[in-house]
A = this chain, B = another copy of it.
Amino acid sequence: MTAELRRQLASLLVVRGSGHSSDGQRRYPRWELPNAELQRLLSEGVGGVILLGGSAAELRLRTEQLRHWAGGPLLLCADVEEGVGQRFEGASWLVPPLALGRLYAQQPDRALALAERYGHCSGRQARLLGLNWVLGPVCDVNNNPANPVINVRAWAETPKAAGALAAAFVRGCQAEGVLACAKHFPGHGDTSCDSHLELPLLPHNRQRLEAVELQPFRAAIAADVAAVMTAHLQLPALDAERPATLSAAVLTQLLRGDLGFGGLVVTDALVMDAISAHHDAATAAVLAFEAGADLILMPADADAAIDGLLQAVQSGRITPQRLAASLERRQAALAAAQPPSTADRALEDLQQLLQPDDQRLSHELLELSLIRHRPGATLAGATNTGGQGLTAGPGLNLIRLDSQLNAPQLPAMAPALLRPGALGYSPIVLDARSPSPWSGDPAAPLALERLGPGPVLLQLFVRGNPFRGSAGGEEPWPAVVQQLLAAERLAGLAVYGSPYLWEQLQPMLPPELPAAYSPGQMPEAQAVLLQQLGLAAAPLEGGFSSGFGGGFTD
């Protein structure tokens, strides 16, 4: 009796595992359960796994292994908001959604069609690799450029566009037999701190929430989104005490009641400090379930969470009806997803992973989201596509990114390294572990004498990312651009990621300066952008040189 109840409660947990096969390959061993524990928990009925890390081929084998360990159907999900290739190398890695929000302002129909293809591409590739649940779309409205954690992950900066695009993504993804997940309810767009690190507060009243934050969720629900993920956010106007994830006012009254959502409600990861700093694993799970969540994502301790839920059911704090409703919703979601491919189809599935249409989509998104700093842009109607390419080196290729370690956007043969290299620009890569390049002088922040002589191509990989704690705005790039211009050493500028940084820097540039912006950071984005700066494919890129996209075909 208790054993069966315990299995039922365990099925409501989604624990985190690595997409890699062996424990030693885990990138975040603190959060990714070792295989022995994962296998035990699945055998005890745990019903879902969120996967991170590993290539497409590894994931294909891994999802099979997890189902084998569970002995039954599982919810297998991943944070693949920007194409499956964002997390699992070898699949399509698309430009961040915000690019489509910007297109929507000019060409709404084209943007919607692309968002739906974006969903199809993500859903189809997820399914081929054994996932049945994509943890997207982000339904947050990114109306705060300083938002360190949502930023370009959002589909738009306005509620209407965000809702329409998110709904289109949901339609595309779910048409492939893969569940989608609208997040982070009731809206994480207007915060300037990171809930991975602290608990943000949203001071808006219900009227404003209705006008802005809730709209995209209503649109996703109308598109029949299978799941909604909660936000670790304090919303005093709705609940004076508890964050959204643990609030009945938010999950039950607002989401189930007012918005009429009948699908799966899943918490954001309970292991995040915004929750785990305040509640132990058992308490957090019970509070979230009581508040209205069906699924408990990444509890700090899975066994404790199950035990906590068990006790709450046995004590009557959670009613059998409430439990049955969550179990039913989970069953309904599993039934709505297409059953997984079979083990013997692994090679075929992998060979079908990248379709010509995926390549066209990824290329089209890159082309349309590229912004070039055009000379003569003020002359209305002028179609000056010329301008000068980068002057020949020797010079410096100054690259800034968050971390060079395990950086999928910067393989050793990345266009951002090789193409300037072919022109004589030597790479200097700056990240949080580099010797300081800063002079301490705010007017001329870069210690140029340490970096060497010659013209400087500046390539900035900056975007909001979880755990960074800021959107990159604290670095003095505007002053650096001015410094390099004053020294007559700025040869070119490439911004990959944040449109806000580009909008800050672009007005400073002289009209003839080779410069461009791409929302994407992947090697393909570098190739498209640098082509515009007059940098053709370098010989070592290999696949690239046989025409664009050649580097990414299968």
**Chain B residues with CB below 8 A from A539, complex form:** 30
Q: Mark A504-541, 1 if CB is under 8 A from B, else 0.
A: 00000000000000000001100000000000000111
In the bound complex, do residue B450 and residue A29 qualify as a contact, i.e. CB atoms below 8 Å apart? no
Q: Name the CB-closest residue of B to A85.
A: B24
Residues of chain B lying within 8 A (CB to CB) of residue A541:
29-30
- Using known A-B contacts A433-B429, A554-B35, determine if residue A29 contacts B413 with beta carbons closer than 8 Å: yes
Residue A34 lies at the interface, judged by CB distance under 8 Å to chain B: yes
Among listed A54-62, A255-263, A472-480, interface-contacting one: A54-62
Q: Out of B27, B351, B552, name the residue touching A413 (CB < 8 Å).
A: B27
Asked whether B343 lies within 8 Å of A22 as measured between CB atoms, the reply is: no
In the complex, chain B residues whose CB is within 8 Å of the CB of A410: 405
Q: Is A441 an interface position by the 8 A CB rule?
A: no
User: Chain A, interface size: which category?
Assistant: 35 or more
Q: What B residues does A36 contact at CB under 8 A?
A: 553
Known: A404-B404, A404-B405, A412-B27. A56 touches B433 (CB 8 A): no
Question: Is A21 engaged at the interface, CB distance under 8 Å to the other chain?
Answer: yes
Cα A524 to Cα B22 with chains together (Å)? 14
Binary contact track A42-83/B, C-beta < 8 Å → 1, others 0: 000000000000111110111011001000000000000000
Interchain CA distance A435-B58 in the complex, whole Å: 36
Residues of B within 8 A of A55 (CB): 20-21, 25, 54-55, 58
Interface residues of A in 152-204 (CB under 8 A from B): none
Q: Does B412 contact A403, Cβ atoms closer than 8 Å?
A: yes
| With A28-B413, A429-B434 as contacts: A61 and B350 at CB distance below 8 Å | yes
Residue on B with the closest CB to A353?
B22
Asked if A423 lies at the interface with its beta carbon under 8 angstroms from chain B, I say no
B354 to A543, Cβ gap below 8 A?
no
Q: Are B24 and A90 in contact, with the CB atoms below 8 A? A: yes
Q: Give this chain's copy count.
A: 2
Q: Which of A390-448 contact B (CB under 8 A)?
A: 403-407, 410-413, 427-430, 433-437, 447
In the bound complex, how far is the Cα of B406 from the Cα of A523, in angstroms?
A: 14
Q: Which one of B28, B34, B90, B405 contacts A25 once the chains associate, using CB atoms below 8 Å?
A: B90
**Does the CB pair A56–B405 fall under 8 Å?**
no
B344 contacts A27, C-beta separation under 8 Å = no
B21 touches A554 (CB 8 A): yes
User: Which one of B57, B89, B451, B551 lies within 8 Å of A57 (CB-CB)?
Assistant: B57
Q: Complex formed: what's the CA distance from A434 to B426 in Å?
A: 11
Tell whether A304 is near chain B: CB-to-CB under 8 Å.
Answer: no
Question: Does chain B have a CB within 8 A of A109?
Answer: no
Q: Closest 10 interchain pairs by CB?
A: A29-B542, A24-B552, A404-B404, A429-B433, A30-B542, A57-B58, A22-B90, A29-B543, A21-B57, A405-B412
Interface residues of A (CB under 8 A from B): 20-32, 34-36, 54-58, 60-62, 64-65, 68, 89-90, 343-344, 346-347, 350-351, 353-354, 403-407, 410-413, 427-430, 433-437, 447, 450-452, 523-524, 539-544, 546, 550-554
19 new A-B pairs (CB below 8 Å) besides A24-B553, A34-B550, A435-B436? A21-B90, A21-B554, A22-B554, A23-B543, A23-B550, A24-B552, A27-B412, A28-B540, A30-B540, A32-B542, A34-B542, A57-B58, A65-B351, A68-B347, A344-B344, A403-B412, A404-B429, A435-B447, A436-B452
19 pairs, A vs B, C-beta closer than 8 Å: A22-B56, A22-B354, A23-B550, A23-B551, A24-B543, A24-B551, A24-B553, A25-B89, A26-B542, A26-B551, A27-B412, A28-B413, A29-B551, A31-B542, A34-B553, A61-B350, A343-B344, A404-B405, A435-B436
